[in-house]
Amino acid sequence: MPSSEKPPLDDPPSYEAASIPAQNPPPPRRLARPPPLELPALLLLKGKRVVLASQSPRRKQLLAQIGLTNLEIIPSSFEENLPKDVAPFEYVMSTATQKALSVYRQEIDNEEKGEPGLIIAADTVVAGNAGEILEKPRSEAHHVAMLKSLRDGGPHRVYTAVVCVTPLESARDPGYALERAWEETVVKFDSGISDELLLAYVRTREGADKAGGYGIQGTGAVLVERIEGSFDNVVGLPLRTTLKLIEKVMAKADDDDLLNGEVLEQDEEDEDE
């Protein structure tokens, strides 16, 4: 008759033994770095000056994700003082356009470096639930009040406009091609956030230099309950939109063939007459 006794189990290892690392563990495998995007528009930029008309480190980091790492940072000198009695998307479009053209005019005749191959400019604002444009906080008290309004006012919207400018090969008027677009993302703060947490966040100074007073890519994420739309748009540069603009504007850069075709067509019409 088989015994009903269970075989004895080995004692589990002690905490001390479990904490001793294995002898000579194999080195961790280093993953190969993925190759960069080899899109025609990006390949056209090789060896050319690519200028980011912004000193935002976040925009620089986002562009690096699509392979634009060799950027010149030339902040625009345009004073961002356009009237705010317009729709938020109109405001950011106008501001980003002026930023891009300001740097274009400054750099197009650069005798030392040569003309830029591409200028990228952007502008971001946060709009409260009433549509009011919120930019960077002016003081700690203003910062706290701004975040309270975003917490208590329901969902708000973040608008970013991107503008890409490249010189035309033909240099025909106005001398450049320009493409622009804007994007909107809805952001909802957690309505249960305490005043103490808001003040503690303000005192980190993370959001002091950001439109709306918070950085969703940093500690400011604790304030956000959900978003609808592009995350990188809230950070400050919608990558998918930016890449499309680069492709469109670079396709217009070499317009010599188009110009020659127009001239040839016009000459033929003159001969027929």
- pLDDT at residue 127 greater than cutoff 60: yes
User: In this structure, which topology does domain 40-258 adopt according to CATH?
Assistant: Maf protein (3.90.950)
The helix (H) or strand (E) run that includes residue 198 is: helix 195-202
Tokens of 197: 């947490």
Q: What's the one-letter identity of residue 219?
A: T
Q: Which of 24-38, 73-87, 154-168 has the highest mean pLDDT?
A: 154-168
Amino acid at 189: F
Residue from 10, 123, 195, 254 carrying the catalytic annotation: 123
DSSP string, 66-97: TT--S-EE----------SSS-HHHHHHHHHH
Return the pLDDT at 96: 97
Instruction: Count CB neighbours of 235 within 10 A.
Output: 23
Query: Max Cα separation, the chain?
Result: 118
Beta bridge partners of 162: 122, 181
Closest to 160 measured CA to CA, from 127, 189, 129, 117? 127
Report whether pLDDT(272) > 50.
no
Mean pLDDT over 41-69 rounds to: 92
The top-scoring range by mean pLDDT among 78-87, 163-172, 227-236 is 227-236
- Can you tell me the distance from the alpha carbon of 250 to that of 179, in angstroms, rounded to the nearest whole number? 10
Angle at 61 between CA 122 and CA 184, to 5 degrees: 40
Amino acid 112 reads: E
* pLDDT for 6: 58
Sign of CA dihedral 60, 61, 65, 67: positive
> Could you tell me the pLDDT band of residue 20, with boundaries at 50, 70 and 90?
low
Active site residue 11: no
Asked whether residue 186 carries a pLDDT value surpassing 80, the answer given is yes
Q: Quote the DSSP letter at residue 273.
A: -
Identify the band that residue 266 occupies on the pLDDT scale cut at 50, 70 and 90.
Answer: very low
Whole-number percent of the chain with pLDDT over 70: 81
With 80 as the cut, is the pLDDT of residue 10 above it? no
* pLDDT for 220 beyond 50: yes
**Distances from the Cα of 2 to the Cα of 9, 10, 132, angstroms:** 19, 22, 83
| pLDDT of 17 above 70 | no
Q: What is the mean pLDDT of residues 12-20?
A: 54
Q: Residue 137: is its pLDDT beyond 80? A: yes
Q: Is the confidence at residue 269, as pLDDT, over 60?
A: no
Cα 248 to the chain's mean position, in Å?
18
The predicted-structure confidence for 96-116, as pLDDT tens digits, reads as follows 999 999 999 999 999 899 999
Give mean pLDDT, residues 171-188.
94
Amino acid at 78: F
Q: What is the pLDDT of residue 62?
A: 95
Q: E-strand spans in the chain?
A: 50-52, 72-73, 118-127, 133-134, 156-167, 176-189, 224-228
Q: pTM above the 0.85 mark?
A: no
- To the nearest whole number, what is the mean pLDDT of the chain? 86
For the cut 80, the answer to whether the pLDDT of residue 9 exceeds it is no
pLDDT score recorded for residue 173: 85
Q: What percent of the chain has pLDDT over 90?
A: 64
The pLDDT value recorded for residue 263 is 37
pLDDT the model gives residue 32? 66
